[in-house]
Amino acid sequence: MKTETTRTTRRALLRAGLAGGTAALTTGTAAGARAAGDPAITEIQDWNRYPGKGVDATPYGSPSSFEAHVIRKNVPWLTSDPISSVNFTPLHEIDGIITPSGLCFERHHGGIAEIDPNAHRLMVHGMVDKPLVFTMADLKRFPRENRIYFLECAANSGMEWRGAQLNGCQYTHGMVHCVMYTGVPLRTILNEAGVKPEGKWLLAEGADASAMTRSVPLEKALDDCMVAFGMNGEALRPEQGYPVRLVVPGWEGNMWIKWLRRLEIGDQPWQQREETSKYTDLLATGKARRFTFLMDVKSVITNPSPQAPIRHGKGPLVLTGVAWSGNGRIKRVDVSVDGGRNWHTARIDGPSLPKALHRFYYEFDWDGSELFLQSRAIDEAGFVQPTKDQLRGVRGSNSIYHNNGIQTWHVTEEGSIENVEIS
């Protein structure tokens, strides 16, 4: 590569220049006085002297190479095969409320379908006046809306039901993302086919190798669901359902059918595999809850956290995290540094949108002592995020899904951090 040779040459030149500078210092010239201090300031940096790449270098940009660690992570032992598996959003490295598209966690059941949008169709049928087929071009001629919503996997934090297991909020809470969707209200599309009055449920199906299906109550479908073809201003990423997915605000991620190809209206739920065998919540009694659609009020401190230890020592510290609720907006987030003995109301910054991530901050002076960090969200419906012990007290430890219990991070005097459970 041309730049590599150039860079080596430039480094050699710089070294030669530095040697000259040292020589100058010993003679006490004005040029030598510049070298006293931070070399990031006193030495002329490569990027200050030599021009960088031109506008033709990266037609579709990537993050800085110094951010190469900010990536989705996989936990191989969680599933039997990466084709039907999940990875995790690096929550500890991102800020604000929007998740960059390339960092949004993935959950597939039959791998990533690579679909030619010209060969994609959306069918609407069942209890309708006339069954219809739409092309992508058709869908883009309906009136559109743009909405920001979180999408949380029902199994987010699921590995933590029995106790602290994975060390980092990326792993314990990273099956969530929040982006702006562009698309058509689902009711607009259903209206085009004409839903018959006996229609009460909607079946949505994907075009991938798992042909994912879920039953959605028609009331929800006609409320705020969307058929989305855009995320964060551009087309959906293939791993997020390109060319089109269902958006089911506030409800468990499994229902947000990707690669959406079929919508059927019926008078009963279909009891598909993903709403019987999976996404049902086993209780200690041996009974199991079904159709637990809504994602409850939840929060997590993303920084400091096990993957983001405190390295700056005592003094001013920015604590930050995210909170969200399927019920609507987050009304308040409280933060504790002593394991829930005392709470301080955090500051929510940025947009406060219903069924979207909320960003909170709590700035304080760390005196270098041991901390037990917790966050507790309250949503606009008045629901307070419970502790894990409260959840387990009612449900047992085998629900797999819907673990929204309060997370504890233990901060040592050295600033290292661990996922723990406390009394």
- Rounded Cα distance between 182 and 265, Å, is 24
Number of residues that bind another protein (CB under 8 A): 121
Applying CB under 8 A, the span of 29-37, 234-242, 243-251, 259-267 interacting with another protein comes to 259-267
Taking CA atoms, 259 is separated from 18, 122, 135, 353, in Å, by 58, 9, 13, 26
CB of 150 to another protein, least distance (A): 18
For position 84 contacting another protein by CB under 8 A, the verdict is: yes
If one asks whether residue 273 binds another protein (CB under 8 A), the answer comes out as yes
Per CB under 8 A, 79 contacts another protein: yes
Choices 3-11, 49-57, 155-163, 229-237; region in contact with another protein by CB under 8 A: 155-163
264, 298, 330, 355: residue in contact with another protein (rule CB under 8 A):
264
Give me the least distance between CB of 187 and another protein, in Å please: 5
State the nearest-atom distance from the C-beta of 318 to another protein, in Å: 22
User: CB under 8 A: which stretch of 95-103, 130-138, 241-249, 312-320 binds another protein?
Assistant: 130-138
DSSP states along 109-174: SS------GGG-EEEEEESBSS-EEEEHHHHTTS--EEEEEEEE-TTTTGGGTTS--SSSHHHHH-
Q: Can you tell me which of 105, 149, 150, 161 binds another protein, judged by CB under 8 A?
A: 161
Per CB under 8 A, does 152 bind another protein? no
Backbone dihedral region for residue 57 (phi beyond 0: left; psi -120 to 50: alpha; all else: beta): alpha
Q: 225-254: which residues touch another protein (CB under 8 A)?
A: none
- Residue 364 sits in the site that holds another protein (CB under 8 A): no
Min separation Cβ 277 and another protein, Å: 5
In angstroms, the Cα distances linking 308 to 70, 94, 301, 302, 409 are 12, 11, 11, 8, 11
Q: Which residue number, 110 or 415, has a Cβ lying nearer to another protein?
A: 110
Nearest to 112 by CA among 180, 234, 209, 212: 209
Largest CA-CA distance found in the chain, in angstroms, rounded: 94
Among candidate residues 267, 185, 265, 261, the one with its CA nearest the CA of residue 222: 185
Candidate ranges 23-31, 95-103, 138-146, 360-368; the one touching another protein (CB under 8 A): 138-146
* 138 contacts: CB under 8 Å, gap ≥ 6: none
132 contacts another protein (rule: CB under 8 A): yes
The verdict on 18 binding another protein (CB under 8 A) reads no
Build a one-symbol-per-residue string for 33-62: x at contacts with another protein by CB under 8 A, - elsewhere: ------------------------------
* Rg of the chain, C-alpha, whole Å: 26
Instruction: Give dist(CA 92, CA 173) in Å, integer.
Output: 10
Shortest CB 18 distance to another protein, Å: 37
Q: Which is nearer to another protein, 9 or 342 (CB)?
A: 342
Question: Is residue 316 at the binding interface for another protein, with CB under 8 A as the rule?
Answer: no
The DSSP element (H or E) to which 319 belongs, if any, is strand 315-324
Token pair listed for 334: 């409280």
